[in-house]
Amino acid sequence: MDYRRLDNEDLKHFASFLKESEIITNPEEREPYGHDETEDYQFSPDLVLKPSSAEAVANILKHCNDRWIPVYTSGARTGLSGGALPVYGGVVLSTEKLNRIIEIDERNLQATVEPGVINQVFHEACKEKGLFYPPDPSSWGSCSLGGNLALNAGGPKAVKYGVTNAYVLDLEVALADGALIRTGARVLKNSTGYNLTQLMVGSEGTLGIITKAVFRLIPYPQQDRLMLIPFQSAEKACEAVSAIFQAGITPSAMEFMERDAIDYTLQYVDDVSLPIGPEVQAHLLIEVDGNNAEVLMQDCMAIADIVEGFEAGEVLFAESAQEKAALWKLRRKVGEAVKSHSIYKEEDTVVPRAELAKLLRAVKELGAKYGFHSVCYGHAGDGNLHVNILKNEMSDQAWKEDLPKGIRELFQKVKELGGTISGEHGIGYVQKDYMDVVFNEAELQIQRSIKKIFDPQEILNPGKLFPNK
């Protein structure tokens, strides 16, 4: 697309309502905003703006819309799909100064926050008041709530508690033309008109910029039990997942890690050790939570009995807070550890949980066919498998030409199994050309039409979500 380049007139306008520290023109200071955690992509924004109010966000958008300048919303830049990459230059609008927890309403179990608040900071602020905000991506210590909203992020606790959209009551959104709107209300039930709140969640900054969110909260569970279960077969570990749910047990977390994922992570972190026998090919990390310690122990014993039928080894129970923290650190660091090992591509596949073993088998078969090594882990209780494909010894030609064919074939298999190509990382820039695998042209056109209504000039995060025509 041939968007307008910024000039001095644009800078003067922004300087009329933004502080000097909120306008970043220096190339070195702009550089970090040209990439996120997605592979090795790098694009250069022409300008970075850091507004500290919703009104300033709206003013920026109105000006850019009038002048046909692209705007890319940036949070903590922890994305894995290139959703915030400024592929056409223009303005990166950073939400890092919109970082206030405005209110935690203990009477109504609600909280009002700005998008720049870090997920873990919000989680801990709620916990101090005995309240729980469950969505907890692996990057929760660095990712922002705005990014979580943009991608409808999940995390380990999603298996019991749901993903981000299950907790959103209302949003304040700045539209492309500068209008500020509210999408919902501070109520648990709302059948008033179209559900604009849920439309905005997961829209990846293509329909508007979220400037405020109202979340519902729940009471914090008083007890939890954590167990690490080794398996001699990764496929058997996946098969055990469905059997646990069929037995009537709903864990608060159920995470899958194949052997390489664990080995890479143990090499990557310094303060966690775990003896693993040579026969172990995968682990399930399973947590149950609630308010009755006796019931939780019964669930743990039932799980231990179930997994015996799936080539499981001796179950490790985390007995202390320190042991629990160590195991969770091991799981949360898997992604970083794997990515430090090689150039990589990460696919965020999701299928019905009973089909997880078939998906894993397909990944390994495609790896043999196309010559790539994969390391798999993810939220097994959701059927969400993160497939990390490592370049290792693959030639540049095979990486660029053959691998995309393998990924397309993988996504076709995912669809065949009743799944889809992203469970929580979004589509962004890297997956947009695979959207035709899961949507036909009529379905894609409906989505393009929605985009056109909200953003007729196509200034909001252009170059994302939709395949090139």
The answer on 227 and 215 residing in a single domain is no
The answer on 248 and 280 residing in a single domain is yes
Angle ∠(141,143,144) on CA atoms, nearest 5: 120
Q: In this structure, is residue 21 part of a structural domain?
A: yes
The two structure tokens encoding residue 353: 């949980």
The answer on 389 and 299 residing in a single domain is no
β-strand pairing of 344-350 with 316-317: unpaired
* Whole-prediction pTM: 0.95
Residue 1: pLDDT over 80? no
Q: What is the pLDDT of residue 417?
A: 98
The answer on 196 and 110 residing in a single domain is yes
The last residue of one of the domains, among 336, 367, 398, is 336
Other CB atoms within 10 Å distance of the CB of residue 288: 25
How many domains are there within the chain?
4
The answer on 332 and 244 residing in a single domain is yes
Residue 274: give the domain boundaries: 223-336
The answer on 206 and 305 residing in a single domain is no
Q: Mean of the per-residue pLDDT values for the chain?
A: 96
The two structure tokens encoding residue 391: 């370049």
Q: What is the pLDDT of residue 265?
A: 95
| CA atoms of 19 and 49, how far apart (whole Å) | 10
Q: In this structure, is residue 36 part of a structural domain?
A: yes
pLDDT digits (tens, 9 = 90+) for 298-326: 999 999 999 999 999 999 999 999 999 99
Please report, for the domain that includes residue 331, its CATH number: 3.30.70.2190
Q: From residue 326, give the alpha-carbon distance in Å to each of 65, 195, 282, 322, 377.
A: 48, 41, 18, 6, 18
Phi-psi region of 82 (alpha: psi -120 to 50; beta: other; left: phi over 0): left
Q: Which residues 6+ apart lie within 8 Å of 449 measured at CB?
A: none
Query: Residues of 97-108 as b/e, b for ≥16 C-beta within 10 angstroms?
Result: bbbeeeebbeee
The answer on 215 and 258 residing in a single domain is no
Residue 171: beta bridge partners? Answer: 213
| CA atoms of 453 and 192, how far apart (whole Å) | 20
- The pLDDT of 156-162, averaged and rounded, is 96
The answer on 265 and 163 residing in a single domain is no
Q: Which residues 6+ apart lie within 8 Å of 69 measured at CB?
A: 3, 4, 6, 10, 63, 90, 91, 459
pLDDT digits (tens, 9 = 90+) for 8-20: 999 999 999 999 9
β-strand pairing of 316-317 with 373-379: unpaired
The answer on 161 and 115 residing in a single domain is yes
The answer on 250 and 215 residing in a single domain is no
Other CB atoms within 10 Å distance of the CB of residue 171: 23
- The pLDDT of 387-397, averaged and rounded, is 93
The answer on 397 and 354 residing in a single domain is yes
| CA atoms of 147 and 144, how far apart (whole Å) | 5
Q: From residue 179, give the alpha-carbon distance in Å to each of 5, 182, 255, 458.
A: 23, 10, 42, 16
Q: What is the pLDDT of residue 134?
A: 98
Contact 211, 114 (CB under 8 A): yes
pLDDT digits (tens, 9 = 90+) for 399-426: 999 999 999 999 999 999 999 999 999 9
Q: What is the pLDDT of residue 350?
A: 98
The last residue of one of the domains, among 179, 204, 219, is 219
The answer on 37 and 108 residing in a single domain is no
Alpha-carbon torsion angle 388, 394, 397, 401, nearest 10 = -40
Q: In this structure, is residue 443 part of a structural domain?
A: no
Please report, for the domain that includes residue 193, its CATH number: 3.30.465.10
Q: What is the pLDDT of residue 271?
A: 86
Q: In this structure, is residue 466 part of a structural domain?
A: no
Please report, for the domain that includes residue 368, its CATH number: 3.30.70.2740
The last residue of one of the domains, among 167, 202, 219, is 219
Residue 469: pLDDT over 90? no
Contact 183, 200 (CB under 8 A): yes
